[in-house]
Amino acid sequence: MKVVCTEKSQILAVRIADQLGVQAVETRFARFPDGELYLQVAGPLDDETVIVGSVTDNDAFIQLMLLIDACEATTNTLVVPYLGYARQDKKFKDGEPVSARVAARALSRGVSDVITVNIHEKEIARYFDAVAHDLSLAVDIGDYLKGQGFADPLILAPDSGAADFATEIASEGCWQADYLKKTRISGEEVRMEPKNFDVKGREVVIVDDIISTGGTLATATKMLYDQGAAGVHAACVHGVFTGGAYVRLRAAGVKSLVCSDTIERACSAFTAANRIAEALKKC
C-alpha cells in the first residue's frame, strides 16, 4: 500500500502513512500558464493506493479529482478528511443544487472506498458511488481537552445538530454537556435563543464539526460571558476560519481555539491520522 495526497493535505497524509508503516509517494504540483492545475505522481504506486485530500476550496477539489485519475490503474481508497460543499446537503430553495451530492459523485469515480471525518450530515455518505465510512473525532477531542486541565468544564454544542457530538466528547471526561438552539439568519449571522446555564465562574468549551465564519461561535461566546462564564474555549474538527474568523473569535474573547488536521492549521492540536489509519486497516 502507498499513500498519495493533494498539496493541502500533506502533513495529515504523512501522519497516516507513518501510522500504517507505508511510504507517502511524492506528487509534483504545478499550474499551466492559463492557471489550470497540473500534477504528476512522481513514484511508482502499488496495487493498493490511499489518496488523501481535503476539499478545502475549489482548487483542492479539482486537484483531488486529477490525483484520483492519475491513480486509476490501482485499487484506490479515497480519504476526504474535510468534504467542502457538505453543508449544501439539500435544496434549501427552489433552483439550488445539492452541492454535497455533486461533490460526492464527482469524487467517487475510480475509488472503491471513501473515508470521511465528521461529514457534517451522515446522510451525505449515501451520495458516494463507493463504500463510504464516516469517522468521528469526538474521542480525540475529549482526550485533548482532558490534557488542558479544565476543572468541571461545560461542553456545549452551538446547535441541536452537534448535541450528540458534544455528549460524546463530554463522556471522555465525565463532564456535563448541553446545546444551544440556533437559527441561521445569513451565511455569517445566527440568532440563538437565550438559555440559562449554570456557567457562572465556569469554563465552557464550545464544540462543533466546522468553524467557518465564526458567526455561530461569536454569538454563543457573547451569551456565555453575559451569563458569567469565566472563560470560553472552542474546539472543532474542521477549522475553515473564513474571512479572518480566527482573529475575530479571539478578539471576541474565545480564550483558546483549536481544530484537527483535516484542514492543516497552526492551531491543529489533534490529528485525524490515528482514526483514519485504523479505518484503512479494516477496508
Cβ contacts of 159 within 8 Å, gap of 6 or more: 179, 180, 181, 182, 216
22 vs 252 by CB, closer to ligand R5P: 252
Among 29, 48, 26, which residue's Cα sits nearest to residue 37? 29
Q: How far is the CB of 3 from ligand R5P (least distance, A)?
A: 29
Residue 93 annotated among the catalytic residues of the structure: no
Distance CA 242, CA 66 (A): 25
Grid look-up 451525505 returns: 124
Q: How far is the CB of 52 from ligand R5P (least distance, A)?
A: 23
Let me know if 36 is exposed, middle or buried by CB neighbors in 10 A (0-12, 13-18, 19+).
exposed
61 vs 246 by CB, closer to ligand R5P: 246
Q: How far is the CB of 116 from ligand R5P (least distance, A)?
A: 15
Q: How far is the CB of 42 from ligand R5P (least distance, A)?
A: 36
Pairing of strands 181-184, 190-193: antiparallel
213 vs 271 by CB, closer to ligand R5P: 213
Q: How far is the CB of 180 from ligand R5P (least distance, A)?
A: 10
Grid look-up 492545475 returns: 37
Cβ density class 67-106: b for 16+ within 10 Å, e for less: bbebbeeebbbbbbbbbbbbbbbeeeeeeeebbbbebbee
161 vs 253 by CB, closer to ligand R5P: 161
Of 8, 91, 93, 182, which residue is the catalytic one? Answer: 182
45 vs 141 by CB, closer to ligand R5P: 141
Distances in Å between the Cα of 113 and the Cα atoms of 21, 49, 108 are 20, 11, 8
- Where does this chain bind ligand R5P (CB under 6 A)? 87, 158-159, 161-162, 190, 208-216
67 vs 190 by CB, closer to ligand R5P: 190
Q: How far is the CB of 136 from ligand R5P (least distance, A)?
A: 13
Which residues form the catalytic set? 182
